[in-house]
Amino acid sequence: MFITFEGIDFSGKSTQISLLRQRLEEMGHDTLVVREPGGTVISEHIRALLLDPSFVHMDPVSEFLLFSASRSQLVREVIRPALNRGTLVIADRFFDSSTAYQGYGRGLELEDLLRVHHLAIHGSMPDLTIFLDIPVAESFARRAQRAGDIDRMERADEAFYNRVRDGYLQIAAAAQERFLLLDGERPQEDIAEDIWEIVGTKLSPPDNSHEGGTT
Ligand code: ADP
Ligand code: TYD
């Protein structure tokens, strides 16, 4: 099973992913968490390029192609092999992020993006996409609480993030068969319960065959 998490920056994706991973592992499910951009040597180099605040002049098409290149590498090297051996894969962002940020946010043509997504995901469509929705003001408030530097993507203004959030809402409405939209302003434990409920309905029993036969 392949689960992706989406949402604007600081929507709580990493928090929910670690809660979900813990629960899955307690039940004996072999679980792998990846984050985008990154997760392979090549993809981490691309991540450094994408987030370096000194590259203020990066062209939106270059930006999109770099995110896609990082994704293609991650799918081929890590996600696909893990799914093939029966591992449950959780991704912190996937191609919907590019549709939301580079399509709706930067204004690239959605049709153009679709063709590249098709190339970059190599057939690995998520079975479930959890979209944690928070208002942009909440994202900015959470960011203000965080210590550390602002990366290049985070330099975008409020109008950009509003387009991204609205984009996510449209993407989720158009792909309801795989999307679960959750209000990310609720308490963490309540959100985790909702996620657990839907993941539970889709899970097959853990594969314990590697633990040896019955004696
Ligand atoms: P993301 O991975 O989407 O950037 P994080 O999980 O790192 O988000 O969370 C961003 C910040 O918001 C963190 O400081 C985290 O503690 C806080 N946070 C996460 N979930 C909630 C929630 N449900 N309510 C309030 N704050 C939250
Ligand atoms: P990251 O530090 O991983 O942020 P987050 O914790 O919010 O996921 O930085 C990734 C940034 O890149 C984030 O601002 C979202 C952006 N992004 C895109 O614009 N397009 C994409 O396709 C992806 C995967 C991320």
Segment 118-150, tens digit of pLDDT = 999 999 999 999 999 999 999 999 999 998 889
For a substitution probing ligand 2, which of 43, 93, 98 has the most ligand atoms within 8 Å of its CB? 93
Whole-number Å distance, alpha carbon 117 to ligand 1 midpoint, is 28
| 107-111, 146-150, 185-189, 210-214: least confident range | 210-214
The Cα–Cα gap between 98 and 202 comes to 26
Q: Which atom of ligand 2 is nearest to the CA of 37?
A: 24
Q: Which atom of ligand 1 is nearest to the CA of 191?
A: 23
Residue 24: which residues within 8 A CB-CB, separation 6 or more? 31, 88, 199
The ligand with the least distance to the CA atom of 140 is: 1
- Given pLDDT bands bounded at 50, 70 and 90, which one contains residue 210? low
Q: Give the pLDDT of residue 214.
A: 42
pLDDT (mean) for 53-79: 97
pTM for this structure?
0.96
Backbone torsions φ then ψ of 33, nearest 5 degrees: -110, 130
pLDDT (mean) for 88-116: 98
Instruction: Yes or no: say if 32 and 89 are a contact pair by the CB < 8 Å rule.
Output: yes
Ligand 1 residue neighbourhood (C-beta within 6 Å):
7, 9-15, 142, 145, 184, 187-188, 191
C-alpha radius of gyration, the chain, whole number: 17
Whole-number Å distance, alpha carbon 136 to ligand 2 midpoint, is 15
Q: Give the pLDDT of residue 136.
A: 98
Whole-number Å distance, alpha carbon 40 to ligand 1 midpoint, is 25
Give the pLDDT confidence of 142-177 residue by residue, as tens digits. 999 998 889 999 999 999 999 999 999 999 999 999
Whole-number Å distance, alpha carbon 151 to ligand 2 midpoint, is 10
Q: Give the pLDDT of residue 65.
A: 98
Q: How far is CA 114 from the centre of its chain?
A: 17
215, pLDDT greater than 60:
no
Structure tokens at 53: 């605040």
pLDDT (mean) for 104-117: 98
The ligand with the least distance to the CA atom of 43 is: 2
* Other beta carbons within 10 Å of 119: 11
Domains present along the chain, CATH in parentheses: 2-202 (3.40.50.300)
For a substitution probing ligand 1, which of 13, 21, 139, 142 has the most ligand atoms within 8 Å of its CB? 142
- Given pLDDT bands bounded at 50, 70 and 90, which one contains residue 211? low
